[in-house]
Structure 1
Amino acid sequence: MDESLVGGHLQELRRGTVVLACLETLERPHYGYALMETLSGSGFPVDGNTLYPLLRRLEKQGLLTSEWNTDESRPRKFYRTSDDGHLLLDQLRAEWRSLDAAITSLDKGKER
């Protein structure tokens, strides 16, 4: 099978899950680069050109809060899931579980 075809579909599938992964991870505060590393280490590789605009959009939507930490030599903006973000996270988790159950149901009993 054409690897670019597979890669495109995998990228599309992951794009739909990165918001869920961010909201989940940001239940504990992270700055952008640390979030990128955490997501990558958990199997959600995302580059800065995708992540930083997403963080700004989620903050603008009220799903994240942010705070600058200037204690270190380099100031860092830390993000955290807001109360509304937690409500959305709960809904996204439930939908994810529902979709997983539906796919599992479709897959049961199939011969390959």
Structure 2
Amino acid sequence: MIDPEISAGHSQEVRRGSVVVASLLMLRTPGYGYGLLESLAAADLPVDANTLYPLLRRLEKQGLLVSEWNTDEARPRKFYRTSPDGEQLARTLLDEWTTVARHLQTIDTEKGRS
């Protein structure tokens, strides 16, 4: 039986690659960081806040997200939305993810399941 810690570590590696594309896809509808954390968790792609917030800043700096402050509420919130370049990257990454998944399924089928 596989050690659960080993399995969890490898699962985390697979999921880590999905956070960028999931964030870009979800932020096609404007949202703020905490809301995105909740949405990702609800989609069974939980991510730590200490991972997500730096990622959002990096994607913004790369021009893949745009942001604006909502100061209408008592506490200002920074809302993010996917830019046109971010939309294009999300589509590219999702296509790549789908292609890799298809290739893995082919390998699994050809080599048989043990």
Partner of 1:75: 76
2:22 counterpart residue number = 21
Q: Distance in 2 between matches of 1:111 and 1:100?
A: 16
Alignment-mate amino acid for residue 85 of structure 1: G
**Count of matched residue pairs:** 112
Aligned to 1:36: 37
**Deviation at 1:108?**
1.7
Structure 1 residue runs of 4 or more that deviate by more than 3 Å after TM superposition = none
RMSD: 1.0
What is the alpha-carbon distance in structure 1 between the residues aligned to residue 113 and residue 103 of structure 2? 18
Deviations 1:18-41 (A, max 9, x none): 001000100000100000000000
Structure 2 unaligned regions, length at least 5:
none
Q: CA deviation at 1:111?
A: 3.8
- Structure 1: gaps of 5 or more residues: none
Q: Distance in 1 between matches of 2:6 and 2:113?
A: 24
CA drift at 1:104: 1.1
Name the amino acid aligned to 1:35: L
1:60 aligns with 2:61: yes
TM-score (norm 2): 0.94
Structure 1 CA distance, aligned partners of 2:6 and 2:109? 26
Q: Secondary structure at the match of 1:67?
A: strand
Q: Kindly provide the CA deviation profile for residues 31-70 of structure 1, in whole angstroms up to 9, marking residues without a partner as x.
A: 0000000000001101110000000000001100001001
Q: Say if 2:97 is the partner of 1:96.
A: yes
Residue 111 and residue 56 in structure 1: after superposition, are their counterparts in 2 closer, same or farther (change >3 A)? Answer: closer
Shift of residue 74 of structure 1? 1.0
Question: Structure 1 length normalisation: TM-score?
Answer: 0.95
Structure 2 CA distance for aligned equivalents of residues 108 and 5 of structure 1: 24
Q: One-letter code of the match for 2:61?
A: K
